Chain A
C-alpha cells in the first residue's frame, strides 16, 4: 500500500486536473440548470453579446494556474525514484494472481462497471435514436420504432460538409502530430543538443492547457495576428495539433527509448543520410507506437469539443459541434442518432486500425 501511494496520489491529481478543465459534462448538464464552473463561465463570457474576451481571459488564466499547479505536483510525484521506469518495460511480466472465490466478485464488478458506464448509455442512446420523440422504453414505444431520425440527420444540409471537416481535421492532425512528435522525440532522446529538455517541455506544455483555454488563446492570438487562418479549418487544425502533441510525444518517446542506438548508427555506416535513416529505420521501428498514437489522436480529434466550440465558424462545423447544436436546440432524437453513428464509426475505425496494425506490424521475435 505504501508503494502504491505516489501512484494513487498522482492519479488523484490527474483526475482533479481533468475534472476542473473538462467542459462538455458541466456545459451539457450544468448550464441548463444554472450550475456554473470555470469552463462554462469562460464559454458564456465569449458567447454573450457583446462577448467579453477580457473576462474570459481572466477566468482562463486562473484556471490555467490551477491546472499547472496540479500537473507540476503530479510530475514531481512521479519523477521521484523511477524516472525512466518505462525503459524496463521489456522485462516486465504481469503475473496472474489466483483470486480464488473472490474472482466471481471481481468479475461481477468489472461486468457491472462495463454495463453501467458503457453498455447502458449506448443502449439508451440507440433506443432513443429509433423514436420520433423521446420516450421511455416500453412495448407501446416499440411499435413506434423507426429510422426517421437517421434520415433526418443524413438529410441535414451541412451534414456531409460537417463529417468531411471532422474527417479531414482528424486525419490531418493525427498524421501531423505523430510525425512531428516523432522528430521531436528523436531530438530529445537521441541528440545532445543543448536545451533539448526545453523542447521536451514545450511539447508537453499544452497538457496543462484546458481545451477551452487553448481555444481561447488561439482565437485571440489569430484575431490579432492576421495570417488568414481565422474562420478557416486551419485554425482548428492548429488547435488540435497543439493540444494533442503531448500525447504523440508520450507514444513516440516511449518507443524511441526502446530502439537501440546502434540500429541508427549502422544505417549511417551503411551510407544513409539522416532523413533516409529516419524514414527507412526509425519510423518503421516506431510503427506500433505511431499507429497506436495515431488512432488515439484521430479519436480525440473527432470528439474534440472544448477548443472547437470557440474556433468554428459557419462552414467549418465539425461533428462534435453539430452534436452540441442539436443539444442546444433540444433535438434529442436526432442527437441520439448522430451519437450512435459516431460511436459505431469510431468503433469500426479502431477495429480496422488494430487489424492493420497486426497485419503490418513488426514480426514478434
Chain B
C-alpha cells in the first residue's frame, strides 16, 4: 500500500548547513496495517513522516501510495501535501484556535466543497467515533489535552484519508490518559482498517500499537519486524538497548550451529539464540531481558537448554507489582524482575535461570 524506496532526506540547521536525516530508508506498509517508526529523538523519524506527508522534500528516492507515485527523484515527481489526501495528526495537535470543534473538523470538507448537509453528517459521525459530539460547539481552545488530541484525530479522519500519519500523538498527554488514548487509537485504527504510519520514541507505545515496527537510528532503519520479533530477537545492540530494558553480557562464541550458539562469558557458559552475523570465535554480547531472568533460593531444575548460575543479591528495589533484583554474578551485575513474594535479603546467595531461547547473542559492533 505505502512503499518507501531508498529515501534520502536532509534538513537545514540554524546555520544553513544541511543535516542528513534519513539515509537509504526503505520499507513497505501493507493495506490496513499500523506501521511504527521508532527511534530516539534526532534519528530522522519525524523527517521521514513529513516526507511522506509532502511537508518536506527528500533529496532522493521514491514514495508510492496505492500505486500512485507521490514522490520520485528520478521521474521528478512531487505531489503537493494538499493534493495527497493523507490525514495527519501533529505532535502539537495544531488545532486552529480561532475555530470551534465543528469548524475544525469541517474544514477539510469545506476545502473539498462538500454540500453543507453532507459536511454536517460526516462531521457528526466522526465526532461520534471519537466521543466528542457533546462538545461540537465548544471553542477549540477550551478543550482538555485528551479532547484536543481526539479533535485532531477527528479532523484527520473526516476526509477519509488514504493514509493516516501520526507524529507522536500521545506524547503531550499525562501517563493515565496516554494509556487510555493508546487503546482508543488502536481500536479506531483496527475498526476503520486505516493504513497508518505512526512515529514515536516511546517503545511501549510502539509495542502495544503496531503490526510492524521499524527501529531507526541515526537516519537508518536498523531493524524491521513485528513487536515480538523486535523485542525478543533484537538484531543489534542498539535495538536491544533502546526497546525495553536488557542485560548485556560480553563473551566469545565457542560453538555455533542451527541458529544456536554457546558463548563463554563472565557468568560462565551461556547457550543462546544466535542472531544474524554471529560467527565462531567472534566477540559477542548476549542480551537477556530482566523478566527472563528467573530467580530462586533453591537450585532450579535445569532442563536442557537452560542456563543456570549462582550469584549474590547486590541490591533490590520494591516497585509495587514487582521487584528489581540486582544480582552479582562474578563481576557482572544482572537485573532481574521478580515477583514481590521473593524476599531473599541483600547479601544472600541466589540462583538464576535463563532459558536459552531468551538469550540473544548479538555480534559486537
Chain B contacts for A365, CB-based, 8 A: 97, 141-142
Q: Which of A133-141, A268-276, A321-329 lines the interface with chain B?
A: A268-276
For the complex, is B147 an interface residue (Cβ under 8 Å from A)? no
Min C-beta distance of A167 to chain B, whole Å: 29
Q: Which residue of B lies closest to A360 (CB)?
A: B98
Q: Which residue of B lies closest to A285 (CB)?
A: B98
Interface majority SS (helix, strand, loop, mixed), chain B: mixed
CA distance A260 to B80 in the complex (A): 20
Chain B contacts for A263, CB-based, 8 A: 94, 96
CA distance A265 to B49 in the complex (A): 13
- Proximity bits, A171-208, B CB within 8 Å = 1, else 0: 00000000000000000000010000000000000000
**A269, B87: Cβ atoms under 8 Å?**
yes
Chain A contacts for B81, CB-based, 8 A: 265, 268-269
Known contacts A262-B92, A276-B111, A363-B139; is-contact A269 B98 (Cβ 8 Å)? no
Q: Which of A256-292 touch B at CB < 8 Å? A: 260, 262-263, 265-273, 276, 280-281, 284-285, 287
CA distance A350 to B108 in the complex (A): 37
Q: Looking at the complex, which one of A262, A271, A287 makes contact with B111 (CB distance below 8 Å)?
A: A271
Known contacts A260-B94, A365-B141; is-contact A270 B12 (Cβ 8 Å)? no
For the complex, is A362 an interface residue (Cβ under 8 Å from B)? yes
**A271, B90: Cβ atoms under 8 Å?**
no
Chain A contacts for B152, CB-based, 8 A: 266
**B112, A271: Cβ atoms under 8 Å?**
yes
Q: Which of B248-288 touch A at CB < 8 Å? A: none
CA distance A268 to B55 in the complex (A): 9
Known contacts A265-B55, A362-B97; is-contact A270 B92 (Cβ 8 Å)? no
Min C-beta distance of B112 to chain A, whole Å: 6
Known contacts A363-B139, A363-B141; is-contact A269 B86 (Cβ 8 Å)? yes
Chain B interface size range: 20 to 34
CA distance A273 to B81 in the complex (A): 9
For the complex, is B156 an interface residue (Cβ under 8 Å from A)? yes
Q: Which residue of A lies closest to B84 (CB)?
A: A269
Chain A contacts for B86, CB-based, 8 A: 269
CA distance A284 to B141 in the complex (A): 15
Chain B contacts for A265, CB-based, 8 A: 53, 55, 81, 88, 90, 94
CA distance A197 to B112 in the complex (A): 35
Chain B contacts for A267, CB-based, 8 A: 96, 107
**A273, B141: Cβ atoms under 8 Å?**
no
Chain A contacts for B85, CB-based, 8 A: 271
Q: Which of A312-365 touch B at CB < 8 Å? A: 362-363, 365
CA distance A268 to B159 in the complex (A): 13
Known contacts A192-B12, A271-B111, A363-B141; is-contact A266 B98 (Cβ 8 Å)? no
Q: Looking at the complex, which one of B80, B91, B159 makes contact with A270 (CB distance below 8 Å)?
A: B159
Min C-beta distance of B146 to chain A, whole Å: 16
**A272, B90: Cβ atoms under 8 Å?**
no
For the complex, is B155 an interface residue (Cβ under 8 Å from A)? yes
Q: Looking at the complex, which one of A192, A268, A269, A362 makes contact with B156 (CB distance below 8 Å)?
A: A269
**A269, B96: Cβ atoms under 8 Å?**
no
Chain A contacts for B296, CB-based, 8 A: none
CA distance A267 to B155 in the complex (A): 10
**B141, A270: Cβ atoms under 8 Å?**
no
Known contacts A271-B82, A271-B112, A273-B82; is-contact A284 B92 (Cβ 8 Å)? no
**A260, B87: Cβ atoms under 8 Å?**
no
**B107, A280: Cβ atoms under 8 Å?**
yes
Chain A contacts for B165, CB-based, 8 A: 269
A269-B165, A270-B82, A270-B155 known, 4 other contacts, Cβ within 8 Å: A263-B94, A268-B55, A270-B107, A363-B97
A interface, CB within 8 angstroms of B: 192, 260, 262-263, 265-273, 276, 280-281, 284-285, 287, 362-363, 365
Can you list 7 A-B contacts (CB < 8 A)?
Answer: A262-B92, A268-B54, A268-B55, A271-B108, A271-B111, A362-B97, A363-B139
B interface, CB within 8 angstroms of A: 12, 53-55, 80-83, 85-88, 90-92, 94, 96-98, 107-108, 111-112, 139, 141-142, 152, 155-156, 159, 165
